[in-house]
Amino acid sequence: MAISNSNNRFSSKLTSQCQNCSLSALCLPIALADEDVNRLDQIIERKRPLKKGEILFHQGEEFDSVFAVRTGTLKTYNITNSGEEQITGFYCPSELVGLSGIDENHYPVSAKALETTTVCEIPFAHLEQLSSQIPSLKHQLFRLMSRKICDDQQMMVLLGKKNADEKVASFLLNLSHRFKKRGYSATAFRLSMSRGEIGNYLGLAVETVSRVMTRFQKNGLIDVDGKEISIINLPEMEKLVGSAGECATIEHV
């Protein structure tokens, strides 16, 4: 099964390719024929890992690639006129970052690594071109963008209608789902973002996030140890969330 790497046009020793990437079932290659995965592979660049705090792209920078997270976590954020950071999303392995840059041809947000993170860079012009030749790839792209729209709208509901408890519970369960989909534990995981970043993302003060989590722990819903989270009472958490995750519940393949 050894894949010939001889004509790999990238200098690096990072030999990973879509074919042997454990995330291919979740990422772009989904539903692609082997030969098509190969063609996709050709245009993807594996970059050196980003260290914690390093920036993948800056708000305002010219858009030319989308990025698939392979390991680690990213956050996207923009700096408001008043100078404060507003986090718009967290990105786990297999997830695609940068799609919002297509429209204006500039990234409207910055992307920063929350921990050591590796990404696959996918030059969008190439991807778009390739998508003309591979209908299933085009369809996959449309689906991914559509899902992003769907997810963001769920987030809007969360921000507009939910109280602090519901927000935090939704956030934790959302992470839980995403870890589960990737084959990790749905009930025990490590938060790669700080309380401050969670609060920023959820529209809550740091103190509120802290208080809610402490209370959840007191009530036996979760177990918190710094950044390590265990969900003890999943059903109760789901009850708390209530309406959340309309999109997410119709779990896709």
Binding site for DNA (CB under 7 A): 163-165, 194-196, 203-211, 213-214, 224, 226-227
The one of its own copies, DNA, none whose footprint includes residue 89, by CB under 5 to 8 A per kind, is its own copies
Q: Compute CA 238 distance to the chain's CA centroid, rounded to the nearest angstrom.
A: 21
Q: Which of 8, 24, 42, 86 binds its own copies (CB under 8 A)?
A: 86
Report, in Å, the least distance between residue 117 CB and its own copies: 21
Residue 179 token pair: 């870890």
- Distance (Å, whole) CA 43 – CA 232: 43
- Positive or negative: CA dihedral 92, 217, 168, 187: positive
6 binds its own copies (CB under 8 A): no
Q: Which of residues 9-48 bind its own copies (CB under 8 A)?
A: none
For residues 46 and 16, the answer to whether their CB atoms sit within 8 Å is: yes
Output 19 or 136, the one with its CB closest to its own copies. 136
Determine the interface stretch with its own copies among 3-11, 23-31, 147-155, 187-195 (rule: CB under 8 A): 147-155
Instruction: Give the CA dihedral 166, 238, 74, 211, nearest 10 degrees.
Output: 40
| Of residues 45, 51, 41, the one with CA closest to residue 67 | 45
For the bound state, the minimum distance from the C-beta of residue 193 to DNA, rounded and expressed in Å, comes to: 8
Please, what's the largest Cα pairwise distance for the chain? Answer: 58
Name which of its own copies, DNA, none residue 163 binds, using a CB cut-off of 5 to 8 Å depending on partner kind: DNA
Three-state DSSP state, 248? helix
Residue 145 contacts its own copies per CB under 8 A: yes
Hey, is 225 helix, strand or coil? strand
- Distance linking the first and last C-alpha atoms of the chain: 26
Q: Which does 150 bind (CB under 5 to 8 A by kind): DNA, its own copies, none?
A: its own copies
Which residues on adjacent β-strands are paired with residue 48?
A: none
71 with 120: CB under 8 angstroms? no
What the block records as the tokens of 123 is: 């030059």
Distance CA 83, CA 79 (A): 6
- Comparing C-alpha atoms, which of 85, 110, 86 is closest to residue 97? 110
126 binds its own copies per the rule CB under 8 A? no
Q: Which does 233 bind (CB under 5 to 8 A by kind): its own copies, DNA, none?
A: none
Q: Does 99 bind its own copies (CB under 8 A)?
A: yes
User: In whole angstroms, what is the distance from residue 179 CA to residue 177 CA?
Assistant: 5
CB of 51 to its own copies, least distance (A): 26
Site string for its own copies, 184-223 (x = CB under 8 A): -----------------xxx--------------------
Chosen residue from 14, 43, 150, 206 binding its own copies by CB under 8 A? 150
Q: Which residues bind its own copies (CB under 8 A)?
A: 78, 80-82, 84, 86, 88-89, 99-104, 106, 108-109, 128, 131-132, 135, 138-139, 141-150, 152-153, 155-157, 159-161, 201-203, 242-243, 246-247, 250, 252
